[in-house]
Every structure is written in structure tokens, then in C-alpha cells.
Amino acid sequence: MNAVLTQLEPDAAAWTREEFEARLRGKGERYHIFHPFNVKMNSGLLEPSQLRGWVANRFYYQINIPNKDGAIIANCPDRETRRKWVLRLLDHDGWEDNSGGIEAWSRLGEAVGIPREELWSLRHVVPAVRFAVDAYVNFARQSPWQEAVCSSLTEMFAPKIHKERLANWPQHYDWIDPEGLHYFRSRISLAERDVEHGLQVTLDYFHTRAQQERALQILQFKLDVLWSMMDAIERAYP
């Protein structure tokens, strides 16, 4: 992240809460929903092998999200925040008879034709995807917990991408068992809940103009993580 940018207007007035939120939401124009590979995926233009490549590589993101959220909890001294944040770990890892999001992603893998042990072996994960995901986890480990919370805010834009898949995959990819799409359905309400909390923390913590500009840079960093993953996947499955 470019520290120089935060000093461009050191004395500028802080944005109001509403203006700051609008600027965070405005970052959606650089979401990976607009990446050419995602556009192709959503338009039914991917071959089965390309779709399998995406699912196998995105699995590395899925399995690292609980590590990322664990890092945020480890760095957070505030009990109220931890009580809420721990739900994210449970969402992905599951608890009791709820098998969780990682298991749901494994079922998506099976629905597109990737045997479970092949998915879990991570042998399809390409180096740049590993780098991008690891950068996200490391950012959460090494930054103040409020900054790591801010970096999760790409989830503001995720319900739309999940809804698009639910609407378009069954018509374009009729060879995929629709049961396999359960992960996307499950994430819509969870993402909305997560964003409400993540936004609250972010709007409270970043209150000077310089801090607000930094928050936008953090969100851009996370957008770049997602975009880089798509670049790497597109290159690996031409």
C-alpha cells in the first residue's frame, strides 16, 4: 500500500460517516465481478476444465479465511468484537451438525467433477493464487485488527456475485448438479451480517481524513488480492 498517498491532503477535512461509507462502497467498481474471467464464467463461456480450475484454486482462499479471522481475533482485545467475529470462523469450519462453508465448497468441487481428495491435496493451486491469499492472511496477522476488519469489506460486493452465479450457472452449466451451488446461497445472508459489523468497526475507527484515505487503500489492497487471483487463474486455464 502506498503510504505517500495518505499524505496528499494531510489537512483535508474528514468525510462525514455517510460520505466515507459511500466512498468505500464506490470501490465496488474495481471488484473482481468485472474481471474478464469472471465475466466469461458468468456468461456461460467457460469450459468444464476452466470452471474446475477456478473452483480448485478458490478453495485455497476458502480454507484460509478461518486463519485470517483467527488472526483478527488473536489481535483483538475487545470482547464484544470477538464474540461477533468468532461466528465467521464457525461459518466456514462448521460446528456440531452444521458442516460449514469449507465443506459446502468441497461439495461444489464434487459437483463440478473434482474428487474430494484432489481438491484437498491443493495440487491445482497455482503459485500466484497462493501468494495473493497468503498476502491477505499475513496482512491480517500483522496489522491492527481494525485494519484487518476493513480489508474484509470486499464482502459488501459479494452478495451480488453469489446471486449472479445462482441465476446464471443452472442455465449455462446444466452439467453441474444445482445442489452444488448451496455454498453461494448460504453466503448471501452471512455476508450481509458480516458487512454490517465490519462497516460499523471501520466507520468508527478511521475518523480523520488521513485514516479514511488509508481505509480506502486497504480496501484496494484486498480488491487487488481478489483481482490477482483471477489473473492467475485466467492464465493457468486459457
Q: Least distance from C-beta 189 to ligand PQQ, angstroms?
A: 12
CA distance 233 to 230: 5
d(CA 233, CA 190): 26
Give least dist CB 58 to ligand PQQ, A.
7
Contacts of 68 (CB under 8 A, 6+ apart): 136, 137, 140, 148
CA 66, CA 86: separation in Å to the nearest integer?
9
229 lies in the binding site for ligand PQQ (CB under 6 A): no
CB of 13 to ligand PQQ, least distance (A): 30
Q: How many residues bind ligand PQQ (CB under 6 A)?
A: 8
Site for ligand PQQ in 64-93 (CB under 6 A): 65
In our burial notation (b when 16+ CB lie closer than 10 A, e otherwise), range 57-73 reads: bbbbbbbbbbbbbbbbb
Contact residue for ligand PQQ among 52, 187, 209, 214 (CB under 6 A): 187
User: CB-wise, 56 or 161, nearer to ligand PQQ?
Assistant: 161
Using CB under 6 A as the criterion, what x/- string covers residues 18-57 for binding ligand PQQ? ----------------------------------------
Type of residue at 194: D
- Binds ligand PQQ (CB under 6 A): choice among 50, 57, 106, 152: 152
